[in-house]
Amino acid sequence: MTVASSTDPGFLDPQVLARIQGLELRARRVVEGYVAGLHRSPFHGFSVEFAEHREYTPGDDLRYVDWKVFGKTDKVYLKQYEEETNLISYPLLDVSESMRYRSPEAPMSKLEYGQCIAASLAYLVLQQRDSVGLVTFDDAVRKFIRPSSNPSQLKKLLQAIQDVVPAKKTRTGPIFHDLADRLTRRGIVIVISDLFDNVDQMLAGLKHFRHCRHDVIVLQVLDRAEVEFPFQQTTMFKGFEELGDVLTEPQNLRKAYQVEVEAFLTRVRSGCQNQQADYLQVYTDQPLDLVLSGFLATRRKRTG
């Protein structure tokens, strides 16, 4: 199989990505294709502020020794800072059963597309020598990887992104509250999910992140068929997340269905804005460069 070269924007199309084997290859090609030529990092923005002293222990970096304190006390203390890197990012990837959905015309399922987003952002952040972690979740936290800027972090993240079995319901509200208490270092929380859950509880979780001074970006991943409802013939709709199967005539439901979906999306979008969380709605047939450009543009607005 011939894979598009890194200078060919064609590989950013989901149809092409779907044919590329290996998540690491996908992530690298997306990032190299989009970021080539960028001179300014979109991931700088946190100030480095002194926080406190702590005693030296063998193996600590001597660059952080406070020699003035040593001169006065004859004891070795290190300076600690609020942020040790320019950025800490926390991608939160929804791996619930509804993310398995892939309509007949879609090149990828929502989960596969979300995996590409998470992997590409992790690759990009590590290329900038910043720190990135990962959370996968459904009705509980399935994997929690603490942030690191070590190059070996990418392999660990990609493995965790690939090793998911979508089978449970989504419980964003309780999960977000739990994570807001666990993510102790201020950073960017990047939610990658279809958000098919209780909207009020989900927004309360986002509010908790903002209360903890995190920047929040929400990437709502949808299959275009979920919004447009293009089905024509009598169809058996398979229920995800403990919902039953339904046999119905789509043409009789389309108008009412679209009204409900639009109301849901409007609530999510306006709710995110009210919580000062940046919101991007993305579809699984969108070229990933559009998603990355939207994400990076949002980040630049934050950092000036």
Which residues on adjacent β-strands are paired with residue 113? none
**Which two three-digit tokens encode residue 256?**
């009412």
Mean pLDDT computed over 215-241 = 80
Judged by average pLDDT, the poorest of 69-73, 251-255, 294-298 is 294-298
Domain boundaries, the chain: 9-41+86-303, 50-81
Between strands 131-137 and 77-81, the pairing is unpaired
- List pLDDT tens digits, range 251-274: 778 888 889 999 999 999 999 999
Mean pLDDT computed over 212-230 = 92
pLDDT at 51 over 80: no
The whole-number pLDDT of residue 245 equals 62
Q: How many helices, marked H, and strands, marked E, lie in the chain?
A: 10, 10
5: which DSSP letter?
P
Using N-to-C axis directions, what is the helix angle for 110-127 and 288-303, rounded to 10°?
Answer: 50
Classify the C-alpha dihedral 237-166-203-295 as positive or negative: negative
pLDDT at 10 over 50: yes
pLDDT at 218 over 70: yes
What percentage of residues in the chain have a pLDDT greater than 70? Answer: 78
pLDDT at 249 over 80: no
Give the pLDDT band of residue 38 (cuts 50, 70, 90): very low
Q: How much is the pTM? A: 0.76
Helix (H/G/I), strand (E/B), else coil: 158: helix
Rg value, the chain, Cα = 22
Q: How far apart are CA 80 and CA 62, in angstroms?
A: 12
The whole-number pLDDT of residue 3 equals 35
pLDDT at 106 over 80: yes
Closest to 14 in 3D by CA, of 116, 111, 87, 96: 116
Give the pLDDT band of residue 40 (cuts 50, 70, 90): very low
**Which two three-digit tokens encode residue 55?**
């005693």
**Which two three-digit tokens encode residue 279?**
């919101």
> Residue 190 in contact with residue 90, Cβ under 8 Å?
yes
Helix (H/G/I), strand (E/B), else coil: 216: strand
Judged by average pLDDT, the poorest of 93-107, 118-132, 222-236, 261-275 is 222-236
Judged by average pLDDT, the poorest of 162-171, 212-221, 243-252 is 243-252
Residue of 47 and 55 predicted with greater confidence: 55
Between strands 235-237 and 50-55, the pairing is unpaired
Burial of 38 (0-12, 13-18, 19+ CB in 10 A): exposed
- 75 Cβ neighbours under 8 A, 6+ residues apart: 55, 69
The whole-number pLDDT of residue 110 equals 96
The whole-number pLDDT of residue 25 equals 76
Say how far residue 173 (Cα) sits from the centre of its chain: 16
CATH architecture of the domain with residue range 9-41+86-303:
3-Layer(aba) Sandwich (3.40)
